[in-house]
Each structure stands twice: as structure tokens, then as C-alpha cells.
Structure 1
């Protein structure tokens, strides 16, 4: 006989039981989220069920919710991938985390055994890497969410995580334990935005003291890049954004110069050339537009300039570069999750954050109850927040 537990907190013996809780369900592209009760199955082999405490909203959630990439249009679905929580129960074979551990989800997992995980030069994972097409669990190809009514309609997963729910089930490779003494609210930022931006500066580009940097797009990820470059001692950090308000915000994260492309008839890369003695050492494209990517590329110094691509490109447009342009020494690389191996390296990064190596508080601009998720999305669309934390 099936055992069901209706729960709002993490009290009581719920291991092995179906949990009925609240989740924000997306029923179609761009449709308002519906807060409703869902059934969350117990974790199966190599899976972990987590009580989500905080979940924030990233632009990746926004673009997926809008259905900008038709290939990702799988509904109904529970979005969300930047969060923090406590392990409620674990499935067979799980040894890296235990009930009661403080954890953050990893949209870019680390199985630890594949050839990529064994290679120190990549944070790609052949088995559990980021995959926007994946909507079910590996163990049996089924979902762990269904509607709580008599229909028992499957609700699909998103980016290995699905954190817009009071409880979620993840592959154990997509969960990392963090120090229980760390401020768990702030640790939410490490499961995507902060790690992606800071890591791009530290791991992918390896920004050196005294180097020059240009960042295109000053959302949370772009500002995290700035924070990472500031922490590394970059001498000049140029922020580029069409929102002039980002000039003031950017100063908090190390932006030394600001350009609004709408304020000048001169191409942005020419302005940057003049400001930096023929180009920056590193540029970061955090928008997801091919023309912005080309501008970022042209803004780097010939001979050694590196452009790091972080923006998500949802259109089928190809890179706007002529192959011969690469023979002048500039290069373009992409960065997923800031180059961090999630389970191996994030615990150390968390300790650095706690010690104040990079800022955390300034990224949290709003806190709202989970039920206000639609308002939180609107704030992001309107450009009024960096990270809005939803508390569950």
C-alpha cells in the first residue's frame, strides 16, 4: 500500500514515502506559474530528495519559461536550478551526502567516473552534464513529480534540478554538500550565477593582476565576472550595457568604466580600443547575441586577446567570425558553470566566499515568498533585480 505524507516543512519521518507539497508548475510557454500541490516520489537508486529552502531566478529559467528554444518546450514542467536546501532522504547507493546535509543543486553535474570527470582540463560530465533536453530521471526514464489529483499527470524535470518546488529529486551527481556553518541563503548563489561569472574570470580566462577586461551585459552573471576580475586585481574593468543604471550598480562589483552603446555613434569596440591601448586582454559576452559576441571579440587585443562566451544563444545563427580573423592571435572560448567541477571544487569556492574573497550580499536584491514567483519573474524581466530569492 502506498504511503503518502503531506508536508510543508522537513519534520517527521518522510523517507520512503510520497511527499505532497507545493510547487510552481509551468503549463505552457510564457504562461503564469501555478502554485499547486504535487506528488514527489521517493528517491530511487543514486538519487537524492532535497527540501528546498531558497530558490532564485536566473535568466536561463526566464528564457526556458518563455519557450525561446522550441526544442525545450516540454510541459507541464517545474523549472528552477539555482537553490539551496537540506537532504531529506537518499536512494540506494548514495554515499556522498546524507540526511540532514546542507546542499546546493548542480545543473552541470559531476559523476566522477567518466573520462571527462577524470580529466582536469574540463568540467563537462558525459553522464550528468547540463542538458536542457533532459526531462526525466536516468534510473528509469520516469519523472518524480506528478499532479496530486486523481489524474497523476507526470510533471517534467528541468536542468537536472527543478527547484521551484518545496521538495525535489536529483541525481546524486547533481548535488554538492556545503559546510553547515555557511549561510545557506547566500550559498544559493553558488549553484549557478555567481559560480558561472566568477569562475569564468578565474578558471576559464585566468585573469591576472593588472590585466584589462571588458564585460558585455551587466546582469548577475556579468557582474559576477566583474567581481571575479576585481578579486584577481584587474586594472581596468569596462562594463557595457544598454541600461545606464547598471553604471552605478557596476561600481559595487569593480566596474571602473562604463559604456552604453546607445550613447555613442562610434562602434563600441573602437571606444574600447581607445580606452585600452588597442584592446582588452579579456572580454566576456554575457548577453547571448551574435553581434554582441563579435563586438566582444573585436574589443580584444590582437596577438593574445581572449573572448569568453557565457550568454545562452537560442537562435540557429552561426558565429559571426571569419576563420582568418583567428590567425591574428585572438581566440574565443565558452564557459559552462565557470569551469568549476561542481562536487570537487564548489566546496572550496564556498569557503572562499565565506572568507569574503568575493561579495555575496550585493547580489541579493530581493527576497519574496515562494507564492510570489510570478512577481519575481516580472522584476527580472523589467531589469529591477539581480537575484530575487524565493523562500519556501
Structure 2
């Protein structure tokens, strides 16, 4: 058990960045975080990163009733509380949150070809998987979750299947990036495309996911890593991640597909992110 983490066992009052409506500025509010229920853990968030999905859903008018809401789903933290039935975590463990969990029992979890859990999949209703309720309250009313994580809060409750234990020596400010964007890029490169040595890779979009693909391709020994982006500043950044060539479609006289065809007759692996 970590010497700095002691479980309170009750409701915790802390701060969270709360969205009161679609596109409205986040407000730092005092919120109540309930103790974890069966198969849940409560986590003290140490670091969280921002994903484009957070911004998209915050701006979206598609679910106006799911407010107030606490966004964020890429987090690293320390386990503060443990609910009944949880055996794989202890108080003080360092963890990452994941927004698509793993129950370990369903067909997809038992398969080596998929990680799209049937029981802990993407939660779109702003509630917890187990009981379709929220663990947050703000100003006397429920506050909705995002992806059953809500990492823009100092404390959160997540299903135990939506957290992964990490080595406590890993830097938290870097580990949180593995919760979504970086893992998506690396997984696409290694597990889906299975990039091998001397591969030629084309990456459309050099954002977080695209740069992660580039780094994963470099690690696998790809000989050519071509980045396609309309922001010329991305190429300098891309070089540090392994991008060897850069194409800006806005500067091309031909369609980018033709430009690529002229560069490499047969592209072995292509990513659009």
C-alpha cells in the first residue's frame, strides 16, 4: 500500500472541471464522488491528457440532456478505494484508465483477435456500466460521466475492468497518453497492419495517433514512413517520431493519391487518422 494513499471509504469531495452544457466553458466545481460499488475502484487522478473525442463530445448538440458532465478519459492515477469483488487491484496501485474495458468472460475477451468487450464497451449514456447510474454529484444534482471514466476530476470511480495496473516507476505524465491516442496508433501499426522490417508506410494526418503510428513503424524497422498533412509544421515534429518524407496536399499539383503512386508504386501499409 502506498504511504500517501489511504482509503476514506466514504464520499469524497474534490474538484472537477464540469461542463454545464454543450460547448459551454468548463467550470472548476466542487463535486462529490461516491465510494466504489461492486467490481469498481476509486482512483486519485494524477495526470490526464486531452483527446479530440473529449472536445467533439463537449461541442456536440447530440446529447443535450447529458449535462452537467465531466469529460476526460485518458488518465493515470493511484487506486484509493476498492469495491466488493475486486481482486486484481490493491490500494496504492498505479493504474491507467481505459474507455473500452475487459470483463474477461465474454466471447470477445476470450478471443485473441478482438478486444471489443461486450459488457464493458464504449459507454455513451454518461453512466456507469454496472447499474446505469452516476457516481458524481455537483451542486446537489447528478453529474454525468464520459466514457465511464471522467478524468477531468481529482477522483473518479471506474469499473475494475476499465483500469490497467502499471509499473509505479513509470512517469504518470507520460503514462496517461497510453490510455487512448498513443495506444490506438501503436495498436493499428503492430496488431492490425503488422508492419514489418523494410515496409513502406503512408500516414494521413500527423496528430497524436498518426505520430504514434510513425513511431511504431520506426520501431518495427519500416524503411519509408511518409507523412501526409496540410500543416507544414507537422513535418518537423514528425521527423522526431520517424517520418522520413512529407507531403502537403495543398502544395501538390496532382491529387495526393497520384503523388503517392509516383513515389511508391505499391504502398504496403496506409493509415488514415
Normalising by structure 1, we get a TM-score of 0.67
2:133 is aligned to 142
Distance 2:63 2:223 in 1: 42
2:95 is aligned to 103
2:118 is aligned to 126
Could you say what secondary structure the match of 2:267 adopts?
Answer: coil
* Distance change >3 Å, CA 255–CA 63, structure 1 → 2: same
CA contact (8 A) 1:64 1:72 kept: no
* Distance change >3 Å, CA 32–CA 249, structure 1 → 2: same
1:374 is aligned to none
Shift of 1:203: 0.6
Distance 1:141 1:23 in 2: 21
Pair 1:89-2:81 in alignment: yes
CA contact (8 A) 1:22 1:36 kept: yes
CA contact (8 A) 2:69 2:143 kept: yes
Shift of 1:15: 2.9
Distance 1:256 1:73 in 2: 47
1:284 is aligned to 271
* Distance change >3 Å, CA 72–CA 31, structure 1 → 2: closer
1:359 is aligned to none
**CA RMSD of the aligned region, Å?**
1.5
Distance 1:246 1:60 in 2: 20
Match of 1:22 among 15, 18, 22: 15
Could you say what secondary structure the match of 1:31 adopts?
Answer: coil
Distance 1:14 1:87 in 2: 9
Gaps spanning 5+ residues in structure 2: where?
A: none
Gaps spanning 5+ residues in structure 1: where?
A: 1-9, 287-392
CA contact (8 A) 1:272 1:279 kept: no
Shift of 1:129: 1.7
Distance 1:229 1:251 in 2: 13
Shift of 1:188: 1.0
Shift of 1:134: 3.1
Could you say what secondary structure the match of 1:252 adopts?
Answer: helix
CA contact (8 A) 1:106 1:160 kept: no
CA contact (8 A) 2:38 2:83 kept: yes
The equivalences for 1:46-195 within 5 A come to 46-67=39-60, 70-71=62-63, 74-131=66-123, 133-147=124-138, 149=139, 152-195=140-183
CA contact (8 A) 2:21 2:64 kept: no
Pair 1:232-2:225 in alignment: no
CA contact (8 A) 1:26 1:76 kept: yes
With 218-227 and 182-191 compared, the bigger mean Cα shift is at: 182-191
Distance 1:139 1:15 in 2: 22
Question: In proportion to residue count, which structure has more helix?
Answer: 1
Pair 1:42-2:35 in alignment: yes
1:243 is aligned to 231
Pair 1:213-2:201 in alignment: yes
1:389 is aligned to none
1:355 is aligned to none
CA contact (8 A) 1:109 1:125 kept: yes
Q: How many residues align?
A: 271
1:201 is aligned to 189
The equivalences for 1:282-321 within 5 A come to 282-286=269-273
Distance 2:153 2:211 in 1: 28
CA contact (8 A) 1:82 1:163 kept: yes
Distance 2:165 2:226 in 1: 35
The equivalences for 1:329-340 within 5 A come to none
CA contact (8 A) 1:67 1:73 kept: no
